[in-house]
Amino acid sequence: MGVRLPLPPGWTARVSLDGSVQAGPDSHAVLRVDARPGQASAFPEKRAFAESLREHFRGEQVSMQEPEGGEDWVLVKLAVTGRLADGGRGQDHPALFGAKRIGPDLFLCASQPGAAADEVEQAWTVCRDLRVEVPAP
């Protein structure tokens, strides 16, 4: 069994030491995908997934888009706003979190810190469209 990521032009994927798949241009990882074999039953409902992210980022300045999803996938895009030392508002940092259920398995996606807004948009498609391929015997 292998995870198939529909990568944008110029992106590559590699398996990191912790077993996650990291994808992005050669210069940096944009997307992290973690496989959770046998954990499809933990697939979150859209609203519950968004609420868990709100809880995770409690105390931070976050703007979150409505979760999007289908029967077997859910994705949430958000922007985390940095805080300046003087108490002011810093730059927005785009982010993506997602989950995809394939058969008995669950796949979790997250954009990586430092990803640009257009890269996060591309990561959205990669996560939504990832699939598992079983090699022919």
- C-alpha 23/C-alpha 35 separation (Å) is 14
Q: What is the pTM of this model?
A: 0.86
Token output for 67: 């979760």
At residue 23, does pLDDT exceed 70?
yes
Which tokens hold the place of 51?
């609420």
Is 8 a domain residue?
Answer: yes
Residue 51: domain span: 2-131
Q: What's the domain count of the chain?
A: 1
28 has a pLDDT exceeding 90: yes
CA-wise closest residue to 75 among 56, 93, 95, 58: 95
pLDDT at position 1 over 60: no
68 SS3 class? strand
pLDDT digits (tens, 9 = 90+) for 45-103: 999 999 999 898 887 788 888 899 999 999 999 988 766 666 666 677 899 999 999 99
Separation CA 112–CA 97 (nearest Å)? 10
Instruction: Establish if 13 belongs to a structural domain.
Output: yes
DSSP state, residue 104: T
pLDDT (0 to 100) of residue 87: 66
Give the residue-averaged pLDDT of 30-56.
93
User: 137 in a domain, yes or no?
Assistant: no
Measured CA to CA, the distance from residue 48 to residue 54 in angstroms comes to 10
Q: What integer pLDDT is reported at residue 4 of this predicted model?
A: 83
74 C-beta neighbours (distance < 10 Å), count: 25
55 lies in some domain: yes
pLDDT digits (tens, 9 = 90+) for 105-133: 999 999 998 899 999 999 999 999 998 87
Predicted confidence at residue 134, as pLDDT, reads: 64
Average pLDDT score over residue span 7-21: 92
Is residue 123 in some structural domain? yes
Residue 89 lies in a domain: yes
114, part of any domain: yes
Instruction: Give the residue from 136, 132, 135, 134 showing the smallest Cα distance to 6.
Output: 132
pLDDT of residue 137: 61
Task: Give the CATH number of the domain where residue 78 resides.
Answer: 3.40.1000.10
Asked, for residue 136, whether it belongs to a domain, the answer is: no
